[in-house]
Structure 1
């Protein structure tokens, strides 16, 4: 007999399991902070509203933005997603990731757009269609594929890698 799944943690509670924590923060998170660097290595960080499916994070940006030109020059990025609002108990919950990012190639555009559109509709926002993310539109779809995922140890700035099949 298969045991019944554990109920999800109540809002504001801190799960004991790193994988549960990571999944909860990623599922509840609205914005990720994208840390990128240009061709010379000059860093830049920016928040972007995102949608997720598995280890793939999808967002929409203008091609000329600093973070978009950075990921075109260097695909290696760092990402952090914080629980919001951050609790005042001194134990912020966050997920840190190493990933490879870039503009979504044409072959993956419809699949990634569907991921983004589902999240948008779930949030009560307008639907996303191809005409919003291809020329002559200014916006494009971008994505990052997570290669490594981390959470912080409680009460310390020490990262623990999460073996997580998102």
Structure 2
């Protein structure tokens, strides 16, 4: 599937403003909404608490969850991170992403776990160790590598690609 063309930036917002907005939302965001689909294309969105380093978003999920099963069969996902709370009628500032997701392979597990562990400790949630994300534990470590980030134009539902320099 070819991605929809992305319109050029309008005069209403400078690329530097978009970049700053995207970085702030990604840094402050606690949850991402992972939009996955099963092998038949049936969509399933789910929020997951995440950590980020560069273009990589890392989370843990239980074995057999619908979103985990979905990314195993269809690794292409959509992601949104948005600021909360937002007053009713307000428009949340959000970052959208196209990414490839999956369970973290053995070779990358310690590196990705370190990303997740740093955020967990920074948030006061305690440490994460390998024994929490490998058998016999029922949690596994997942990640998404983002290929493209987007923001919406102010007051319009038109996406604009953002280069975060990552």
TM-score by length of 1: 0.88
For 1:156 and 1:87, locate their aligned partners in 2 and report how far apart those are by CA, in whole Å. Answer: 18
Deviation at 1:84, TM superposition (A): 1.1
8 Å contact kept, 1:90–1:155: no
Deviation at 1:86, TM superposition (A): 1.9
Alignment of structure 1 residues 13-92 onto 2, 5 Å: 17-87=17-87, 90-92=90-92
For 1:163 and 1:87, locate their aligned partners in 2 and report how far apart those are by CA, in whole Å. Answer: 29
CA displacement, residues 38-58 of structure 1 (integer Å, 9 cap, x when unaligned): 001000000000000000000
The answer for the alignment partner of 1:153 in structure 2 is: 153
The answer to whether residue 133 in structure 2 is matched with residue 121 in structure 1 is no
For 1:88 and 1:21, locate their aligned partners in 2 and report how far apart those are by CA, in whole Å. Answer: 21
RMSD: 1.4
The more displaced of 132-141 and 81-90 is 81-90
The answer for the alignment partner of 1:13 in structure 2 is: none
For 2:92 and 2:42, locate their aligned partners in 1 and report how far apart those are by CA, in whole Å. Answer: 28
Q: Secondary structure at the match of 1:102?
A: strand
CA displacement, residues 13-38 of structure 1 (integer Å, 9 cap, x when unaligned): xxx70000000000000000000000
For 1:83 and 1:32, locate their aligned partners in 2 and report how far apart those are by CA, in whole Å. Answer: 10
8 Å contact kept, 1:36–1:43: yes
The answer for the alignment partner of 1:102 in structure 2 is: 102
The answer for the alignment partner of 2:5 in structure 1 is: none
What residue ranges of structure 1 are gaps of 5+ in the alignment? 1-15
The answer to whether residue 102 in structure 2 is matched with residue 139 in structure 1 is no
8 Å contact kept, 1:102–1:142: yes
Deviation at 1:105, TM superposition (A): 0.2
Q: Secondary structure at the match of 1:32?
A: strand
Deviation at 1:111, TM superposition (A): 0.2
Q: Secondary structure at the match of 1:107?
A: helix
Q: How many residues matched?
A: 152
What residue ranges of structure 2 are gaps of 5+ in the alignment? 1-15
